[in-house]
Amino acid sequence: MLGFCPAEDPKGILLRIDYYALRAKEYSFLLSFIRHRPGGKLHVRELLPNFLLAGGLAKRHVAVEESKQNERIQAAWTAVVDGVTDGKLERILDSPLPEADVMLALLLYPGMMRDMLEKTAKKQISQVFKKSWYVGYQAKSWRNILDSPLFLDTILHNWMGTEEAAAKVFDIIIARSSLLYQDDETLMWLRETVGFAVTKLDEDDTIRGMLRVIVGKADAIDNQFSWERYRALK
């Protein structure tokens, strides 16, 4: 941490601080760190895949249970659709709904999510779970969910740099995520959340095209940040 410089991040601290914060149960600290916006503008740092996933998990730990899981998942999808439609991704990130962060990670990084979930959920990969409120992919196994064409999308966003840089970032995140999200309760939550989102996208994936337009606009996000800096990390 002594070499931490958020602007340049030469040691790759941004790719691991979420891991240590979650392990230490410093949920409020992590959320404050992720959402820090000195200029008041959404920073691409907030869209790092590890921050989206860790932010969702942290919210899940600190949130007051105000609704049933199925109602919260539906509300999270509505928040994501509204945020993308209005071109305000910060509304999604600032939502108290933990599932919204996970859904945004799925929309931005489907290929990485597939690789992470295949590793994390490998013990449950073929299991099927049933609940009365499940719809579509929620009632299917991880294998069926991850075979959706959605996960074949490996588009690079403008802040990601080259495929090599993105692959390095993903490898680092996946290695740690398998430890953070592998307990049965968390995997069930992820499967219900991802399964619902995949079901909705299978019905209408217009939102994905809209999201690409938003993240490609220079005035929408402070994106003076490239993953190329992480290529040399070990």
The model's pLDDT over 110-165, given as tens digits with 9 standing for 90+, comes to 999 999 999 999 989 999 999 999 999 999 999 999 999 999 887 778 778 888 88
| Contact predicate 13/33, CB 8 Å | no
Give the C-alpha separation, 145 to 151, whole Å. 9
Examine residue 205 and state whether it is found in any structural domain, yes or no.
yes
CB half-sphere exposure, 157, CA atoms < 13 A:
28
Examine residue 3 and state whether it is found in any structural domain, yes or no.
no
Mean per-residue pLDDT for 161-184?
88
| Contact predicate 23/58, CB 8 Å | no
The model's pLDDT over 187-224, given as tens digits with 9 standing for 90+, comes to 999 999 999 999 999 999 899 889 888 877 655 566 66
> What SS3 class is residue 87?
coil
The model's pLDDT over 62-105, given as tens digits with 9 standing for 90+, comes to 875 556 888 899 999 999 999 999 989 999 999 999 999 999 99
> Token pair 């919260």 is at which residue?
72
Examine residue 95 and state whether it is found in any structural domain, yes or no.
yes
Number of domains in the chain: 1
In sequence order, the 6+-apart residues with CB closer than 8 A to the CB of 15 are 48, 50, 169, 172, 173, 230, 233
Q: What's the pLDDT at 139?
A: 96
Q: What's the pLDDT at 170?
A: 93
Q: Given a cut of 70, is residue 53 above it in pLDDT?
A: yes
The model's pLDDT over 7-34, given as tens digits with 9 standing for 90+, comes to 677 778 888 899 999 999 999 999 999 9
Q: How far is CA 151 from the centre of its chain?
A: 14
Q: Give me 81's structure tokens.
A: 């659709």
* pTM recorded for the entire structure: 0.92
In sequence order, the 6+-apart residues with CB closer than 8 A to the CB of 52 are 46, 101, 102, 104, 105, 108
Mean per-residue pLDDT for 39-67?
83
Which is more confidently placed, 186 or 160? 186
Examine residue 127 and state whether it is found in any structural domain, yes or no.
yes
Q: What's the pLDDT at 2?
A: 40
Mean per-residue pLDDT for 163-184?
89
Q: Name the residue range of residue 198's domain.
A: 13-221
The DSSP code for 114 is H
**Is the sign of the CA dihedral 69, 60, 190, 24 positive or negative?**
negative
Of the candidates 101, 102, 99, 83, the residue with the CA atom closest to the CA atom of residue 91 = 83
